[in-house]
Amino acid sequence: NFSVLFGVALLPHFWFTAVFTIYTNLFQAVFDWSAIVSAIHFLPVGIVASVVSCTGPLARIIEPKWIILTGEALLIVATILLALASSPNAYWPFVFSAFVVGATGAMLTFTHTNIAIFRTTPSRMAGTVGAIYNGAFQLGYAVGIATVSSVESSVEKKSSRGFDEYEGRAAALWFMLGVVGVETISVLTFYRVGREVADVGR
């Protein structure tokens, strides 16, 4: 389970970084919104993520695998909505909904992967596991920025309108959807309930 959870640990910050990178540029450089207006439109992400981060006690009732899969399913829905949101008028029907659903999914995945990874390893290894896990978060940031920017810019170079066109951003989001899909399949297939070996009671 550890290797699966390490892979999943890349996902929440990958998703957040990609979304903030894409939409900060879109809101300000293309839609010509001011910084404060753009920040207000990002508020749903922060509010929802803060609330969902308090769902840790659910792991006592529901196996973390199923909570993580729920989070990833929500990320799939949110990423599809974002890939279809190509104009300022799409904010409320698509982007707002995606921010709420996606922030919920990302924080469910983040919180319960955190819980599951410490269940999967012996308590004497907690420090090492914590360091590896935090390294996965940072790797998620780095990979998120690099891959999304690369996909977006490569598509924009071939577009007649370049940076102002949504095609590059949509391509980056479809790519991210593929990543989320692979992670979801890996958890569904390889994560084994009941294999936690952590000696929690010791």
Q: Where are the domains of the chain?
A: 2-190
Instruction: From the options 3.40.50.11540, 2.40.33.20, 1.20.1250.20, 3.40.50.2300, give the CATH code of 2-190.
Output: 1.20.1250.20
How far apart are the C-alpha atoms of 51 and 113, rounded to whole Å?
17
**38 φ/ψ angles, rounded to the nearest 5 degrees:** -60, -45
Q: Average the pLDDT over 8-12 and give the result.
A: 91
Each residue of 56-84: pLDDT tens digit?
999 999 999 999 999 999 999 999 999 99
**86 φ/ψ angles, rounded to the nearest 5 degrees:** -110, 5
More confident site: 160 or 127? 127
Give the model's pLDDT for residue 127. 85
